[in-house]
Amino acid sequence: MGTAHAGHFPRALAFAALIMGGIGIGITEFVTMGLLPQIAEGIDVTIPQAGHTISAYALGVVVGAPLVALGAARLPRRAVLIVLMLVFALGNALSALAPTYGTLFASRLLAGLPHGAFFGLASLAGISFVPRSQAGRAVGTVMLGIPIAMVAGVPLGTWAGQELGWRVAYWSCAVIGVLTAVLIRLWVPRTAGDRRHSWRTEMTAFTNLQFWLTLLIGAVGFGGIFAMYSYIAPTITEVTGMDQRWVPPMLLVYGLFSIVGTWAGGRLGDWSVLRTLVIMGLGCAVSLLAFWQTSRSLLPAVVTVAAIAVAGSAWVVALQLRLMSVAGSARTLGAAMNHSSLNLANALGAWLGGVVITAGHGYRAPALVGAGLSLGGLVVLGISLLVHRRTR
């Protein structure tokens, strides 16, 4: 890690290009949730069937991250980032053109394939722009794309999809993908491929216990956030007793404080990755438990959602840094796999949240499930820390 290129390019522009890609990915990941009724009507299926296209995207992320990381280990980083954004653009353009449920499902799968690998390679690129002591800040900066998308891109995309037709949302993501590919070509410095690396080098990560434990922390622990977030709209209307017009402002609060948490997570990661994991994991568990109680009235609910957003987003940055550290020489795979584990967390949290609601425990119950999952993640983290202490 060094600043060899720092004099040859404006660092801020390179980061801006990588953040732009993250914004596009953030929009396409979350905009579908807000447009499910329109999508269902457009391709003549039920809303739950249309919801399976969200699962298709998540499946693409889970499968794509290791496949791309293994295949791209030796290739020049900038070139791979450009190809990933063009594949992302193609997947979204095909989603916008999809005439049937089957073609939309396949297109969403394709759109999800570049997700994890893009963030992984962008994190490695960001680290290469700065001194070693600022690696956490570099990763935190690269990861700003998704929270920015949640604040601005997703609400705008949802509104445009409702007013102009759902296909517009995917067309806009395709445009962002092409634009990002161009900006990466112009603003991100070229790096030569590393011939010492191969898919075999990257595969060594899968023999590392700490690698698996860190993936499990994300898949279980962060599932807690998704258990709560997946059902935030009915919680606000049914539990807090507010009009549905209050849902977008609450999502805006979550998005804004996710930006704060992502920024803070990078700086805390430069201080101590392991301590940040412990503190933010505890923060997630405590704030989710608090939301079970505070969701009954508006102001306490807003404050608690802000706390959940800060702790959760800082935890994601720390998990990214930890995976890259424990992966050793398999850094490309380590950096890419974080988003595979987070998408498994999404599936687990949303499913368990749905189970307790269906069982008749009400819309407060997913927050309790979320606190339990976060504690589960902390238990895995505790095991990881014990292993770390013994093998150091």
pLDDT band at 5 (very low <50, low <70, confident <90, very high): very low
Tally of residues, the chain: 392
Determine what percent of the chain is predicted with pLDDT higher than 70.
Answer: 96
Neighbour-count burial for 308-347, b at 16+ CB within 10 Å, e otherwise:
bbbbbbbbbbbbbbbbbbbbeebbbbbbbbbbbbbbbbbb
Q: Say if CB 316 and CB 116 are below 8 A apart.
A: no
For residues 341 and 391, the model is more confident at 341
pLDDT at 146 over 50: yes
Q: Rounded distance, CA 229 to CA 154, Å? A: 15
Q: What stretch(es) of the chain map to CATH 1.20.1250.20?
A: 1-197, 204-392
Q: Say if CB 217 and CB 342 are below 8 A apart.
A: no
Using CA of residue 29, residue 67, residue 339, residue 370, what is the dihedral sign? positive
For residues 301 and 392, the model is more confident at 301
Q: Say if CB 349 and CB 224 are below 8 A apart.
A: yes
The per-residue pLDDT for 329 is: 83
Nearest alpha carbon to residue 217 among 322, 145, 290: 322
Arithmetic mean of pLDDT over the chain: 92
The per-residue pLDDT for 234 is: 87
pLDDT at 93 over 80: yes
Summarised one tens digit per residue, pLDDT across range 181-201 is 999 999 999 877 766 767 777
Summarised one tens digit per residue, pLDDT across range 247-285 is 888 888 999 999 999 999 999 999 999 999 999 999 999
E-strand ranges in the chain read none
Helices (H), 219-364: 223-229, 232-234, 247-271, 273-294, 298-326, 331-358
Summarised one tens digit per residue, pLDDT across range 157-168 is 988 998 999 999
Q: Rounded distance, CA 21 to CA 126, Å? A: 13
The per-residue pLDDT for 4 is: 41
The per-residue pLDDT for 375 is: 98
Q: Rounded distance, CA 38 to CA 282, Å? A: 39
pLDDT band at 9 (very low <50, low <70, confident <90, very high): low
pLDDT at 330 over 90: no
**End-to-end CA gap in the chain:** 23
**118-144 average pLDDT score:** 94
**61-67 average pLDDT score:** 93
This model's pTM is above 0.75:
yes
pLDDT at 137 over 90: yes
pLDDT at 77 over 60: yes
**334-343 average pLDDT score:** 91
Q: Rounded distance, CA 204 to CA 328, Å? A: 9
Q: Say if CB 227 and CB 219 are below 8 A apart.
A: no
**76-103 average pLDDT score:** 97
Q: Say if CB 85 and CB 118 are below 8 A apart.
A: yes
CATH number of 204-392: 1.20.1250.20
Q: Rounded distance, CA 196 to CA 329, Å? A: 10
Summarised one tens digit per residue, pLDDT across range 355-377 is 999 899 999 999 999 999 999 99
Relative orientation angle of helices 115-128 and 77-97, to the nearest 10 degrees: 150
The per-residue pLDDT for 247 is: 84
CATH number of 1-197: 1.20.1250.20
pLDDT at 29 over 60: yes
For residues 224 and 251, the model is more confident at 224
**68-73 average pLDDT score:** 85
Determine what percent of the chain is predicted with pLDDT higher than 90.
Answer: 73
**203-228 average pLDDT score:** 92
For residues 227 and 173, the model is more confident at 173
